[in-house]
């Protein structure tokens, strides 16, 4: 596979050396590329056309309709969560990737991450191989896929090294299969310590995953932070040493010790299957740890300075498919999620534009929003109106008392059956009823145009399922959804209650028609309320529990 990537590099190099073809024979994207690759020649040609031959043409030429518009890239798919994360996007990405690679003529696919970092977690499976990934795009299991960690991501290089080494124990050598943008935002233990610092010093700074995500993005916007390129620079020790000194001062002002501040230890946590911490250490310890990763990064030769050229090549070349794998979900979007309890990136499809610097959402062929079918789950400090009040000590129905309400019974069943516990921390997630006002808002602003409903098997015949259709105030007056937790204070979710079904009946379905009637009605109702086609349902944990839906 790495041969695909190598052949790509060769093509770009060869192109740069080639004499450019005449402009009039080229399609618009090709024409643009030629202008980039051979500027001297075309500057002269343009100059002659306009200033010598007097071809003064401005505006849309009516006889060449469409040539100035950007075409949709065939064989491109974006997958984004539209609730609060952990919807099961990995399954959908994985399936779509397999489908893309099966298309005749498609030889390889790029799997592109454009935002988020080690706050994300997605599990991928292939045969009996299983991987938990965080920063690495999920195509790593496929020979014909190349993963791109693009410039909108926040990358912790030491964690990345550990993650890749763990992945390689399962899938073998990944050289040539992973590309990291030199412009990606660097996260170190300093930003992780800063997240703790912020939590201690400011009331508002709660709820993060402790992976340094918010300080790293904050320092991207205040332009004081670092990029992967800074770690690769000759004088990297000076650059990052200065950064350490700056943090020391900041911590000392609050009588805190930077060296003794503990941060998550990814590698140790993975082997202990529980959150393990280590301290930031002294300036030398901090820099030595980075050096260990830096030399590995250099030796692996995975950092690319201009991912733009890769995107451009992928855009034009029909033998290449593209999958955009978004992390987190629309409900966690920095601008329009459940503020203040959001993450710090654009988790909606516009995040792809910023995070790759190339792809606008309307260039993408298939835009899939992922939801959990019968419920929603949430981690973090937020409390949403449709949350089922369920003590964190309740891990399943056996922990409930005899007086448990119907809501608690559904919540406890769901937590256990759907294994709603954090992948690293093991902490129980909050369980929420499906919230249509929240969902409709997220679908609209995330830019997805179809839905995949996962976890359709999370239901029981004897438990009714509630769907929140709208919110009212205490007097029963309609309250429209607005993003931002303060707008959800005091709203009263209004529900319809529908019949459940048997998980086993769902799991054995081979098509929509095989599904239990109540599951079909449930999907049809959600589709009508959201106004977006539900085109995929996952019906159980196994690979074959995946249905493409179309029963019109």
Give me the active site residues, please.
Answer: 86, 122
Considering only the stretches 70-78, 209-217, 365-373, 448-456, report the one whose residues sit in contact with ligand IMP under the rule CB under 6 A.
209-217
Closest residue to ligand IMP, judged by C-beta, is: 380
Can residue 118 be called a binding residue for ligand IMP (CB under 6 A)?
no
Can residue 341 be called a binding residue for ligand IMP (CB under 6 A)?
yes
Can residue 159 be called a binding residue for ligand IMP (CB under 6 A)?
no
Can residue 336 be called a binding residue for ligand IMP (CB under 6 A)?
no
Can residue 484 be called a binding residue for ligand IMP (CB under 6 A)?
no
Can residue 379 be called a binding residue for ligand IMP (CB under 6 A)?
yes
- Each residue 285-324 as x (binds ligand IMP by CB under 6 A) or -, in order, gives ----------------------------------------
Burial label, 469 (beta-carbon count in 10 A; 0-12, 13-18, 19+): middle
- Each residue 404-433 as x (binds ligand IMP by CB under 6 A) or -, in order, gives ------------------------------
The binder of ligand IMP chosen from 209, 356, 424, 518 (CB under 6 A): 209
The binder of ligand IMP chosen from 91, 192, 211, 466 (CB under 6 A): 211
Nearer Cβ to ligand IMP (135/312):
135
* Least separation in angstroms between CB 464 and ligand IMP: 27
Q: What does residue 279 show for φ and ψ, rounded to 5 degrees?
A: -95, 160
How many CB atoms are closer than 10 A to CB 84?
Answer: 29
Bridge partner residues of 57 (DSSP): none
Query: What is the bridge-based pairing of β-strands 73-81 and 320-329?
Result: parallel
* Least separation in angstroms between CB 18 and ligand IMP: 44
Nearer Cβ to ligand IMP (145/327):
327
- Biggest alpha carbon–alpha carbon distance for the chain: 90
Can residue 330 be called a binding residue for ligand IMP (CB under 6 A)?
no
Can residue 121 be called a binding residue for ligand IMP (CB under 6 A)?
yes
Burial label, 364 (beta-carbon count in 10 A; 0-12, 13-18, 19+): buried
* Three-state SS sequence of 295-354: HHHHHHCCEECCHHHHHHHHHHCCCEEEEEEEEEEHHHCCCCCCCCCCCCCCCCCHHHHH
Contact 374, 455 (CB under 8 A): yes
Considering only the stretches 274-282, 336-344, 431-439, 473-481, report the one whose residues sit in contact with ligand IMP under the rule CB under 6 A.
336-344
Can residue 120 be called a binding residue for ligand IMP (CB under 6 A)?
yes
Token pair, residue 359, equals: 């792809």
CA–CA separation, 345 and 336 (whole Å): 11
Phi-psi bin for 127: left (phi > 0), alpha (psi -120 to 50), beta?
left
Nearer Cβ to ligand IMP (290/329):
329
* Least separation in angstroms between CB 347 and ligand IMP: 9
Can residue 213 be called a binding residue for ligand IMP (CB under 6 A)?
yes
Helix (H) or strand (E) holding 238: helix 236-253
Helix (H) or strand (E) holding 95: helix 89-102
Considering only the stretches 51-59, 62-70, 327-335, 482-490, report the one whose residues sit in contact with ligand IMP under the rule CB under 6 A.
327-335
SS3 445: helix
**Nearest of 273, 540, 541 to residue 427 by alpha carbon:** 273
Can residue 328 be called a binding residue for ligand IMP (CB under 6 A)?
yes
Displacement of CA 315 from its chain's centroid (Å): 21
Kindly state the number of chain residues that form the binding site for ligand IMP, as judged by CB under 6 A: 19
Considering only the stretches 96-104, 119-127, 434-442, 460-468, report the one whose residues sit in contact with ligand IMP under the rule CB under 6 A.
119-127
Residue ranges in 68-97 that form contacts with ligand IMP under rule CB under 6 A: 85-86
Nearer Cβ to ligand IMP (106/349):
349
* Least separation in angstroms between CB 379 and ligand IMP: 4
Considering only the stretches 118-126, 139-147, 405-413, 436-444, report the one whose residues sit in contact with ligand IMP under the rule CB under 6 A.
118-126
Helix (H) or strand (E) holding 384: none
Token pair, residue 175, equals: 């050289």
Token pair, residue 497, equals: 């209650």
Q: Which residue has the tokens 């080494």?
A: 165
SS3 129: strand
Contact 306, 16 (CB under 8 A): no
CA–CA separation, 506 and 500 (whole Å): 11
Considering only the stretches 50-58, 204-212, 293-301, 491-499, report the one whose residues sit in contact with ligand IMP under the rule CB under 6 A.
204-212
Can residue 208 be called a binding residue for ligand IMP (CB under 6 A)?
yes
Nearer Cβ to ligand IMP (4/343):
343
Provide the binding-site residues for ligand IMP, judged by CB under 6 A.
Answer: 85-86, 119-121, 207-209, 211, 213-214, 327-328, 332, 341, 343-344, 379-380
């Amino acid at each position: 596979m790495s041969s695909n990537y190598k052949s790509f590099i060769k093509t770009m190099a060869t192109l740069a050396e080639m004499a450019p073809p005449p402009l009039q024979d080229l399609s618009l994207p090709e024409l643009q590329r030629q202008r980039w690759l051979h500027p001297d020649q075309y500057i002269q040609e343009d100059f002659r056309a306009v200033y010598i031959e007097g071809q003064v043409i401005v505006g849309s030429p009516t006889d060449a309709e469409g040539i100035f518009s950007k075409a949709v890239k065939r064989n491109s798919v974006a997958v984004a969560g539209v609730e609060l994360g952990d919807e099961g996007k990995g399954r959908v990405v994985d399936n779509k990737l397999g489908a893309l690679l099966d298309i005749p003529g498609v030889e390889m696919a790029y799997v592109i991450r454009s935002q988020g970092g080690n706050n994300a977690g997605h599990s991928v499976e292939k045969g009996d191989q299983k991987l938990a990934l965080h920063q690495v795009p999920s195509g790593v299991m496929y020979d014909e896929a190349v993963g791109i960690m693009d410039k909108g991501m926040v990358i912790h290089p030491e964690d990345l090294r550990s993650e890749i080494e763990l992945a390689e124990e399962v899938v073998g050598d990944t050289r040539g299969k992973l590309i990291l943008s030199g412009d990606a935002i660097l996260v170190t233990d300093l930003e992780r310590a800063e997240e703790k610092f912020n939590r201690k010093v400011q009331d508002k700074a709660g709820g993060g995953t402790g992976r340094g995500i918010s300080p790293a993005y904050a320092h991207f916007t205040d332009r004081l932070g670092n990029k992967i390129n800074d770690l690769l620079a000759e004088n990297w020790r000076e650059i990052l040493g200065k950064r350490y000194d700056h943090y020391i001062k900041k911590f000392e002002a609050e009588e805190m010790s930077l060296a003794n501040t503990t941060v998550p230890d990814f590698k140790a946590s993975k082997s202990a299957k529980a959150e393990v911490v280590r301290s930031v250490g002294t300036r030398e310890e901090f820099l030595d740890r980075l050096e260990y990763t830096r030399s590995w990064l250099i030796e692996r030769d995975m950092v690319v300075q201009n991912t733009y050229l890769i995107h451009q090549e992928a855009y034009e070349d029909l033998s290449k498919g593209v999958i955009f794998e978004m992390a987190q979900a629309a409900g966690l979007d920095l601008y329009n999620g459940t503020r203040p309890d959001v993450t710090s990136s654009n988790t909606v499809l516009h995040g792809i534009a910023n995070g790759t610097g190339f792809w606008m959402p309307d260039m993408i062929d298939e835009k899939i929003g992922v939801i959990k079918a019968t419920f929603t789950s949430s981690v973090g400090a937020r409390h949403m109106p449709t949350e089922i009040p369920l003590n964190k000590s309740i891990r399943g129905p056996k922990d409930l008392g005899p007086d448990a309400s119907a809501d608690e019974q559904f919540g406890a069943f769901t937590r256990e059956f759907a294994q709603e516990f954090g992948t690293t921390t093991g902490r129980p997630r909050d369980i929420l009823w499906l919230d249509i006002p929240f969902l409709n808002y997220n679908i609209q602003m995330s830019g997805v145009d179809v839905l995949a409903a996962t976890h359709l098997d999370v239901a029981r015949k004897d438990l009714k399922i509630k769907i929140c259709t709208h919110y009212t105030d205490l007097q029963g007056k309609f309250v429209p959804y607005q993003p931002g937790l303060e707008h959800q204070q005091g709203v009263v979710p209004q529900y319809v209650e529908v019949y459940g079904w048997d998980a086993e009946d769902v799991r054995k379905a081979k098509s929509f028609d095989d599904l239990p009637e109540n599951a079909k009605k449930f999907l049809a109702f959600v589709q009508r309320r959201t106004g977006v086609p539900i085109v995929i349902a996952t019906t159980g944990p196994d690979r074959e529990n995946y249905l493409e839906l179309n029963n019109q």
